[in-house]
């Protein structure tokens, strides 16, 4: 572990954040060890995250992952907001300036597999079904007990322990990081449908039901995802083609939480281990990958002590924005939902509205990575 400097680096979690971190470290000459309590990458048919934004594409370009994502992802050219199937607002992403589209649609399971392919080129593979069972010692010199799939335990003493192990992070809990925040009352429901022929995957749509919302998101050329705040939303779907099957159905609650610091001693947190929020705006996976890339660069520069100071303002800004988006789509008061319907068509008349919206969707509302020339 940590071949370039002799420092051993243990990463817990092999989701998008952990994989991106290992990949960014590997291409800089490090050899981190990557363990995951999961048995393998996320099932492609059960991928919660779908959006890969322009900032992520810029960050992953040097590793070769962006080219692979481009080959498989769906390019989103429009965002539509409707009410009772009447179009209220269209945001054209083609007006966005830059080498990438503001956001692409690709199931998280596929993104993980593409990152795994690039990581394997460096001879690094995750150790699946391997859990961080306990962390003892001082955070400056953590002692980690791992439990492997066969039940055997192993004690390791990494110079650096990084928790990229999700919202229920074993590393965060074991190392005493507080995770304050709250959950909203609304519950979200989703269903993925596969169709008999290709459907239009060039846009994402949100239909305001007043109250409630029904969103349509592209998954693959013959597959769409519908997300709603109404449990019995499926009869309301206007399917664009003959349905072959519903491939997945799920529901989830939304919390807004973040740690007070993203590092303690030689223990660091990234992605959902450090912050969770609403999927509105498609920032979750992208923010975690951004954490990973910044941390890898800082480690390579010997500046990992700056990590929390640089990332916490970004985390707080994104959580504030996603909370605002979520409040907007979960309105129930008839006066407020009526006002929202009247407001939507006027937004495109506000100078700079589209550019500002796309800047946030693309992830370019955060500080640009200083190690990438001309990054936006």
Q: Which of 251, 285, 293 is nearest to 49 (CA)?
A: 285
Q: How far apart are CA 146 and CA 261, in angstroms?
A: 25
Q: How far apart are CA 206 and CA 81, in angstroms?
A: 5
Q: Per-residue pLDDT tens for 280-293? A: 888 999 999 999 99
Indicate whether 268 pLDDT > 90: yes
User: What confidence category does residue 260 fall into, taking pLDDT thresholds of 50, 70 and 90?
Assistant: very high
Indicate whether 86 pLDDT > 50: yes
Please calculate the CA angle 172-36-34 and round it to the nearest 5 degrees. 95
Residue 174 has a pLDDT of 96
Judging by beta carbons within 10 Å of its beta carbon (0-12, 13-18, 19+), is residue 144 exposed, middle or buried?
Answer: buried
Report the run of H or E that residue 79 belongs to, with start and end.
Answer: strand 78-83
Q: Per-residue pLDDT tens for 203-221? A: 999 999 988 899 999 999 9
Judging by beta carbons within 10 Å of its beta carbon (0-12, 13-18, 19+), is residue 305 exposed, middle or buried?
Answer: exposed
Q: Which residues, at least 6 apart from 331, have a Cβ–Cβ distance to it below 8 Å? A: 211, 337, 340
Q: Per-residue pLDDT tens for 180-194? A: 999 888 889 999 999
Q: How far apart are CA 62 and CA 8, in angstroms?
A: 24
User: What confidence category does residue 374 fall into, taking pLDDT thresholds of 50, 70 and 90?
Assistant: confident
User: What confidence category does residue 5 fall into, taking pLDDT thresholds of 50, 70 and 90?
Assistant: low
Q: What is 9-75+98-184+254-361's CATH number?
A: 3.50.50.60
Kindly list the domain boundaries of the chain, sorted by start residue: 9-75+98-184+254-361
Mean pLDDT of 31-39: 97
Average pLDDT, the chain: 94
Judging by beta carbons within 10 Å of its beta carbon (0-12, 13-18, 19+), is residue 334 exposed, middle or buried?
Answer: exposed
Q: Which of 222, 212, 298, 226 is nearest to 262 (CA)?
A: 298
Q: Whole-model pTM above 0.75? A: yes
Mean pLDDT of 82-91: 90
Q: How far apart are CA 361 and CA 280, in angstroms?
A: 10
Number of Cβ atoms within 10 Å of the Cβ of 296:
27
8 Å CB contact between 3 and 30: yes
Indicate whether 16 pLDDT > 50: yes
User: What confidence category does residue 46 fall into, taking pLDDT thresholds of 50, 70 and 90?
Assistant: confident
Indicate whether 2 pLDDT > 90: no
Q: Per-residue pLDDT tens for 162-179? A: 999 999 999 999 999 999
Indicate whether 1 pLDDT > 90: no
Phi–psi pair at 337, nearest 5 degrees: -70, -35
Residue 358 has a pLDDT of 95
Indicate whether 6 pLDDT > 80: no
Q: How far apart are CA 64 and CA 71, in angstroms?
A: 12
Percentage, residues of the chain above pLDDT 70: 98
């Amino acid at each position: 572990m940590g071949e370039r400097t002799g420092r051993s680096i243990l990463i817990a979690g092999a989701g998008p954040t952990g994989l991106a971190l290992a990949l960014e470290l590997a291409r800089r000459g490090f050899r981190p060890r990557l363990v995951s309590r999961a048995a393998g990458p996320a099932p492609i048919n059960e991928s919660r995250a779908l959006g890969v934004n322009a900032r992520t594409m810029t960050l992953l370009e040097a590793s070769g992952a962006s080219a692979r994502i481009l080959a498989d992802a769906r390019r989103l050219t429009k965002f539509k907001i409707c009410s009772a199937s009447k179009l209220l607002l269209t945001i054209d992403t083609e007006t966005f300036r830059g080498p990438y589209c503001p956001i692409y649609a690709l199931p998280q399971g596929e993104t993980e597999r593409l990152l795994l392919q690039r990581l394997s080129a460096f001879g690094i593979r995750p150790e699946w079904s391997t859990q961080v069972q306990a962390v003892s010692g001082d955070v400056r010199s953590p002692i980690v007990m791992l439990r492997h799939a066969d039940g055997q335990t192993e004690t390791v003493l990494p110079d650096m322990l990084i928790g990229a192990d999700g919202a229920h992070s074993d590393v965060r809990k074991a190392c005493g990081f507080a995770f304050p925040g709250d959950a909203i009352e609304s519950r979200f429901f989703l269903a993925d449908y596969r169709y008999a022929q290709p459907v239009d995957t060039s846009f994402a749509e949100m239909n305001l039901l007043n109250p409630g919302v029904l969103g349509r998101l592209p998954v693959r050329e013959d597959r769409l995802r519908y997300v709603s705040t109404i449990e019995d939303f499926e009869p309301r779907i206007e399917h664009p083609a003959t349905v072959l099957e519903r491939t997945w159905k799920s529901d989830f609650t939304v919390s807004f939480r973040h740690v007070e610091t993203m590092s303690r001693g030689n223990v660091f947190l990234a992605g959902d281990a450090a912050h969770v929020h609403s999927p509105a705006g498609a920032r979750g996976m992208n923010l975690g990958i951004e954490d990973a890339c910044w941390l890898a660069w800082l480690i390579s520069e010997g500046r990992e002590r700056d990590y929390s100071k640089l990332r916490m303002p970004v985390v707080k800004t994104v959580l504030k924005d996603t909370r605002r988006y979520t409040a907007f789509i979960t309105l129930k008061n008839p006066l407020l939902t009526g006002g929202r319907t009247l407001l939507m068509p006027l937004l495109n008349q506000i100078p700079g509205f589209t550019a500002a919206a796309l800047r946030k969707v693309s992830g370019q509302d955060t500080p640009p990575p200083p190690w990438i020339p001309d990054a936006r």
